[in-house]
């Protein structure tokens, strides 16, 4: 299929990130485990001879290399990877972001003389941008909420009218509202799926895994593009209106991140415009800071939890805590909460009352004192936490198997859309079935719901199951938390919980924007309330001193289910604390989250981590795997290393760039090949990035014998940003090939090096603590012996599964199952 | 005075932290700015000759060196420093903590084979210790609160009875309650001051600056000793009971930190016992993690703000955010809040109602809806923030001048105690005067206070000023927040605010444990309520649609005043948010804190920073001063460097340790002095710490020609911890002097190096990101050219004062004004 090829193309055309490692099994790539010849680079030889010598080296280690680099799909060797478990592969094609500024001569020359007034201006701009991020994120959240509210209201009203009419006039036309329900849902989901599949595939799912990766330092293509925002924001409206078991909260986090990236850069790749402002923020490092703020603002708007938002950003992103940055992030979060509050209050006709802090609020628990708890209840909470961990583990397992099935079989565009439609129709049909079969009736007076459906209930009563389905999931969560004791029958809740659990499992991973928080909260609230009802029946006769409020147990169940699936820790605790508005109830929530995480971790990882792993993203964990002090740098590093001299011929640079996909090249002294077989690649001078070389070639800043090249400015490197330009697209005239390029002023002299004896934990700490994308491994003479990149570290992983810790080493692959 | 000498001795006997820098003005210490001879160390010469050569080098650069190192007090040169502004000195005697593990051979050999079961055991122990920290911190907070509550109640009751009797029987004996008031206060303060002065001088003040420094990586002697805890906890009870303008919240943070340090180490230096458990936590790094948890638990217990506590620890301490650690910290905070809540609820006769989350709670605002705000009120809040910044700047300025006065003139023990007594008596007398002069009477029914004093009011009324003074400051804060409109007369509030402001300024810095939060909140609440009353009078007739609740303005004023003085940002916002229990009101609080900080920063720094500076602590800020990219490593580094060879004679080690106070020594290759005058000190191999050398000498692990020394284990280094042992105390037999010590297995091979061209921001980032205490500067051949230590970085500072940024470089001093 031609269209499938086009879809795959952007991924494959990217050069892989600093991949100095070859794709052979690990024993062959270990330093010293195979005897190999050092670079036989002749200083006086031709460029071709130089390259030939380098290549010979590489070939001794890895004869298969070329096949992977040149055409990964064509080789039969590639197919063998499908036999390896999909999450044991690391896709080396993901690029790292540069969180460490390149300190080259021109940087130092341009940065040093900048006065304090410039710094002040930059500071003011930082606050201004954060303010805008908060306002826009809040506004987008408000618009999404209002649109969903209105459309859903229309939809539910229509269905209610049809059901009521069919039941009342008893013409047995109940098939009509069913068809209507299915058709309305399918229509919504179709729009959402088309937006994702045709406009921005990156907008699928909750976006939290993508933002995690971005903040971690991995560039996921198109993740912060405006078209992704549009697909995400509009798509999530329609997937919620389409009645899927999805929430709109996760996508808000992604939306906030895109807004932040767009505003802070003052330009858009989607619309191809450039305001020409805020150039000083055009670095990966600055952009990351703003994206942290945007993600936090998204959480703040979604849950009315500004502090939870800050902690989310820190938990997922910060390797280096910065006080000033954190304060700005909190400011963005606060602004987003405030803006959303203002918009929703105004929309609901109570301007300035500021009673709508987030898209989902759990409502005020404190006033009826149902959130006080007795010490004897804590063991029950803990057991519920464990149950949440168990069901969460099950959820993740089913979803993992489903995801692998999707990777293998559902990769065509029309199949992806078909699957979404099937889920939409099944969701509607099963909901309708539950409503149809349910005989759980409540009197209308007791519990106000917006669209009470009478169905087969007596006059003055309404169908409780219908009230769960015929309102937005957020309203259903609140109903389960706050409806008075006795509203729900146990049987209805049990059926609902199982049904929604399965639907949510199936839905996550569809090609629609889909938040996971709300379906999980709803499932957990249902079984939590069930527990509350059970306890209430069992105990209230005996222990009148300990009244059981089912709503409180619904909250605990919701926390347990959510914690068991996503396994987030501190930020989730704070988000739930802020959403419930109770400091006192923070401890039970935290205990429940701890239990559910620990029990769930016995079986598998959190759902976001599973999806990150399935994508083969080289994600860096917080710390090195334990007990890896005996793994020295020379064991994890990639080599041989392609090095350049400070002054190189244009021809050689061009050929190196075409031949090697690496993202950076160490620059070394003019060195003589060692006679004693020591495998080094020259004494380290500095580091130059592929993107910098591309700018140099593109701007033709070549020196010939007659004249030296004009020196480029920092601006030239910031503006062109040629990360995606393939070297083939750069035209170099025949007569320029013999000219030279002076790399000296552009190489990063401050680039970090590490001794070849340094341990894995130490290198890990450097990467996380300093935000590095690579580090050069040198021997005691500062001669380059290898490079450690993000992929080299991400390959080592520990999994705590079935009560045991496993130390695993991932395979590297350029041909990854998720590509297909 | 002999006793003064003893007091000073511990400080002076410490070796200074890695002070490779000499104490000359900067131009002389700049690399290359003065021509100097390289180390003329003869490889075959005697130890004495070696040392002589090193010394010659040093003398060329710095002829004054000896005078400072040997006897800083005796020289006349030292006196010149008193002419330098006190906060422009950096005391090089503070030692750095080791937050980077020493990766030497024995570490790698012992750590690598540790299995996953050991890691699991350690993890469980970590959680258990954090739990204990939380429980004990909560318990200590509870005990302090109950004791203060009871003693204060007795005291106020006694005074009330005396006043009432005097007024009622009209025998004009009002001098009696005044004397009683003064005597009771003086007695309390005397106990507090004696505890501080005689037991633990480190327990003075709030302890927040000390904990800031500790978490930042500076070892303040005795800061986490149990005797400090006792002096602090008992002292703060009596300073509050003594009626000083102090709170008990700041000291709780310090108490939590001490508890954490004590429990995690399983031993006590004060009581000289050692449980022999948890040895694996006996490193600065692990201890720091637990102390972070303890400080957070302290904040959580003090303010009922577990999340605020976590953020406090992160804001003050974390250079490296770690998800797992943060979660444990939150657990400790939650446990502390829960424990305190449990204890106080039980004490107040409502067990399990859990309605006392913190020592200070602002009470529930939400229920009377007074915390809703109108958009038009925001400008007023901002103006109040600015006013808080102004008065905060004034507070800091006065307190700064007072502190300098104290450093210069009040350094004898009896004077310190006398000053505390004077303040206690003035506080009591002025309070009494205000009560006496006040004619602000309220009817008893309107506002319940525990000890209503009638004074000259009519029957059925009470004196409002007396109610402010005759209850604990916490209760007064709550009264100002919640008392109904019309309770206070403007004149009473104005007088009270001014009086309390001045008293608080005078009190902070006394030799008693004294929290600063409560007096500032009280001052701010007083003038904030004044603003509210003013607005209410001015507006309520015209704008009935915008009712003004003075209690809300009291809260804003309290935030503004506190923010203007302490200038904390994110943690303070969250602490106040949690203490008020309102997410909606977070934005105004944050805006007010921003304004007060920015306005205050125009004049001076936060009060804690001022005190840190006055102590000359080499405190590392978050980032390097801006615009310092043109400051390379070779300009900031210390040199010459005292280096050792891998195998050294005992005699040389002993002499080096006695002669140089440095805390660490690079180990270099056997090198030949360069002939080309290049000022290097051998090729870098690794780093060895003074404490390690001391252990080696003490354990006599010497090799002679006949036998090699037995290798020590990691445990030997952990257990002895000889940071304070002076080299003179270690006996070395005459015959051992010619033996050798093999330093190879003990040196840190993973020690970080940096190129001599690296910029200041880059080195700064390494220090903060990796938790370093020093970094070795090497040239392109990995030859040692210098060392950068914490002091070298802390010397460069930027101050934003009077609207302008100033770049300043501090003087280094071993003879610091705070020593006297």
pLDDT tens digits along B303-314: 888 888 998 888
Question: The complex's ipTM?
Answer: 0.83
Query: Long-range CB contacts (< 8 A, 24+ apart) of A795-798?
Result: A795/A90, A795/A618, A795/A636, A796/A624, A796/A625, A796/A628, A796/A631, A796/A636, A796/A760, A797/A621, A797/A625, A798/A625, A798/A626
Q: Is the pLDDT of residue B61 over 70?
A: no
Of B146, B137, B580, nearest in space to B348 by CA: B146
pLDDT of residue A390: 96
CB contact under 8 A, A627 and B119: yes
Over residues A733-790, the pLDDT tens digits come to 888 888 888 888 888 888 888 888 888 888 988 888 888 888 999 887 788 888 888 8
Nearest CA-CA distance, residue B756 and chain A, Å: 9
Q: Which two tokens stand for residue A798?
A: 């520990």
C-alpha angle with apex A561: A558 to A562, nearest 5 degrees? 85
Over residues B158-179, the pLDDT tens digits come to 888 888 887 776 667 778 888 8
pLDDT of residue A293: 93
> Using H for helix, E for strand and C for coil, what is the string for B462-475?
EEHHHHHHCCCHHH
| Below-50 pLDDT ranges, chain A | 1-47, 50, 57-83, 676, 820
pLDDT of residue A117: 78
pLDDT of residue A24: 30
* CB < 8 Å to A629, chain B: 103, 107-108, 111-112
Q: Is the pLDDT of residue B262 over 60?
A: yes
Q: Which two tokens stand for residue B179?
A: 């004397």
CB contact under 8 A, A759 and B103: yes
Length of chain A measured in residues: 820
* CB < 8 Å to B307, chain A: 307, 311, 574, 577, 586
Task: Report the distance separating Cα A792 and Cα A214, nearest Å.
Answer: 18
* CB < 8 Å to A333, chain B: none
Q: Is the pLDDT of residue B416 over 50?
A: yes
Q: Which of residues 342-371 of A touch B (CB under 8 A)?
A: 352-355, 357, 366-367
CB contact under 8 A, A780 and B583: no
Q: What number of CA atoms fall less than 13 Å from residue A679's CA on the CB side? A: 23
pLDDT band for position B448 (50/70/90)? low
What is the pTM (predicted TM-score) of this model?
0.85
Mean pLDDT for chain B? 78
Mean pLDDT for chain A? 78
Asked if residues A778 and A613 have their Cβ atoms less than 8 Å apart, the reply is: no
pLDDT of residue A446: 56
Of A755, A367, A747, nearest in space to A549 by CA: A367
Q: Is A276 helix (H, G, I), strand (E, B) or coil?
A: coil
CB contact under 8 A, B781 and A780: no
pLDDT of residue A681: 81
- Does residue B266 sit at the A interface (CB-CB below 8 Å)? no
- A515-545 burial, b if ≥16 CB within 10 A, otherwise e? bbbbbbbbbbbbbbbbbbbebbeeeeeeeee
* CB < 8 Å to A755, chain B: 749-750
Of the two residues A770 and B718, the one the predictor is more confident about is A770
pLDDT of residue A104: 82
Over residues B626-669, the pLDDT tens digits come to 777 888 888 888 877 888 888 888 888 888 888 887 888 899 88
Over residues B758-781, the pLDDT tens digits come to 888 889 888 888 888 889 998 877
* CB < 8 Å to B587, chain A: 334-335, 337-338
CB contact under 8 A, B330 and A573: yes
Q: Where are the beta strands (DSSP E) in B37-161?
A: 89-91, 95-96
Whole-number percent of chain B with pLDDT over 70? 78
Q: Is B24 helix (H, G, I), strand (E, B) or coil?
A: coil
Residues facing residue A786 across a β-bridge: A777
* CB < 8 Å to B771, chain A: 769
Q: Is the pLDDT of residue B277 over 80?
A: no
Work out the average pLDDT over B778-805.
78
The DSSP secondary-structure symbol of A682 reads -
């Amino acid at each position: 299929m031609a269209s499938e090829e086009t879809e795959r193309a952007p991924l494959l055309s990217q050069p892989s990130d600093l991949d100095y490692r070859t794709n052979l099994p690990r024993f062959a790539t270990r330093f010293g485990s195979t005897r190999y010849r050092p670079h036989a680079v002749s200083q006086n030889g031709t460029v071709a001879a130089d390259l030939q010598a380098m290549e010979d080296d590489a070939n001794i280690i890895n004869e298969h290399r070329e096949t992977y680099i040149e055409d990964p799909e064509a080789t039969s060797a590639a197919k063998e990877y499908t036999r390896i478990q999909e999450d044991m592969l690391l896709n080396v094609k993901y690029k790292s972001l540069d969180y460490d500024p390149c300190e080259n001569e021109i940087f130092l020359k341009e940065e040093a003389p900048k006065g304090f007034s410039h710094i002040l201006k930059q500071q003011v701009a930082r606050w201004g941008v954060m303010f805008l991020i908060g306002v826009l994120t809040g506004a987008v959240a408000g618009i999404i909420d209002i649109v969903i509210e209105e459309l859903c209201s229309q939809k539910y009203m229509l269905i209610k009218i049809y059901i009521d009419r069919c039941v009342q006039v008893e013409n047995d036309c109940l098939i009509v509202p069913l068809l209507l329900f299915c058709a309305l849902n399918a229509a919504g989901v179709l729009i959402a799926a088309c937006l994702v599949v045709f406009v921005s595939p990156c907008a699928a799912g909750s976006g939290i895994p993508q933002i995690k990766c971005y903040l971690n330092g991995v560039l996921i293509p198109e993740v912060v593009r405006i078209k992704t925002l549009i697909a995400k924001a509009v798509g999530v409206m329609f997937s919620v209106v389409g009645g899927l078991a999805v929430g709109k909260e996760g996508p808000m986090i992604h939306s906030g991140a895109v807004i932040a990236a767009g505003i802070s850069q003052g330009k858009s790749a989607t619309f191809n415009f450039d305001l020409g402002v805020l150039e000083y923020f055009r670095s990966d490092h600055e952009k990351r800071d703003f994206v942290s703020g945007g993600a936090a603002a998204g959480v703040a708007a979604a849950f009315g939890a500004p502090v939870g938002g800050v902690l989310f950003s820190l938990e997922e992103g910060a390797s280096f805590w910065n006080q000033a940055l954190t304060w700005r992030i909190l400011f963005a979060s606060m602004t987003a909460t405030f803006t959303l509050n203002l918009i929703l209050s105004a929309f609901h006709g109570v301007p300035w009352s500021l009673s709508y802090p987030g898209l989902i609020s759990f409502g005020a628990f404190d006033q009826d004192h149902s959130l006080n708890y007795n010490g004897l209840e804590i063991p029950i909470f803990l057991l519920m936490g464990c149950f949440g961990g168990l069901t969460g583990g099950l959820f993740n397992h089913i979803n993992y198997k489903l995801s692998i099935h999707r990777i293998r079989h559902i990769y065509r565009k029309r199949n992806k859309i078909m699957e979404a439609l099937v889920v939409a129709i099944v969701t509607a049909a099963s909901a309708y079935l539950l409503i149809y079969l349910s005989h759980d009736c409540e009197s209308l007076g007791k519990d106000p719901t917006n669209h009470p459906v009478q169905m087969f209930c007596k006059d003055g009563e309404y169908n409780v199951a219908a009230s769960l389905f015929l309102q937005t999931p957020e309203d259903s969560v609140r109903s389960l938390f706050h409806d008075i004791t006795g509203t729900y029958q146990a049987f209805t809740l049990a059926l609902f919980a199982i049904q929604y659990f399965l639907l949510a499992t199936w839905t996550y991973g569809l090609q629609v924007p889909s938040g996971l928080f709300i379906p999980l909260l709803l499932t957990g609230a249902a079984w939590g309330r069930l527990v509350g009802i059970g306890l209430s029946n069992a105990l209230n006769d005996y222990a009148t001193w300990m009244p059981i409020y089912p709503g409180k147990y619904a909250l605990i169940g919701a926390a347990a289910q959510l914690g068991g699936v996503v396994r987030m820790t501190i930020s989730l605790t704070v988000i739930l604390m802020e959403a419930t508005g109770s400091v006192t109830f923070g401890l039970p929530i935290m205990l429940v989250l701890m239990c559910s995480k620990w029990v769930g971790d016995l079986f598998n990882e959190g759902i976001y981590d599973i999806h990150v792993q399935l994508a083969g993203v080289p994600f860096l964990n917080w710390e090195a795997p334990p007990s890896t002090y005996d793994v020295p740098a020379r064991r994890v590093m990639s080599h041989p290393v392609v090095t350049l001299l400070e002054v190189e011929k244009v021809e050689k640079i061009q050929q190196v760039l075409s031949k090697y996909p690496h993202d950076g090249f160490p620059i070394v002294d003019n060195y003589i090949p060692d006679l004693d077989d020591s495998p080094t690649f020259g004494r380290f001078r500095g580091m130059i990035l592929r993107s910098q070389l591309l700018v140099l070639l593109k701007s033709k800043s070549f020196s010939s014998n007659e004249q030296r090249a004009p020196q480029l400015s920092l601006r030239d490197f910031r503006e062109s940003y040629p990360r995606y330009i393939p070297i083939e697209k750069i035209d170099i005239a025949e007569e320029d090939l013999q000219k030279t390029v002076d790399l000296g002023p552009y190489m990063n002299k401050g680039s970090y090096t590490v001794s070849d004896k340094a341990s894995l934990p130490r290198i890990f700490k450097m990467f996380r603590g300093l935000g590095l994308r690579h580090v050069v491994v040198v021997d005691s003479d500062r001669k380059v012996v290898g490079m450690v990149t993000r992929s080299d570290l991400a390959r080592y992983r520990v999994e705590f599964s079935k009560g045991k810790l496993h130390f695993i080493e991932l395979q590297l692959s350029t041909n990854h199952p998720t590509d297909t």
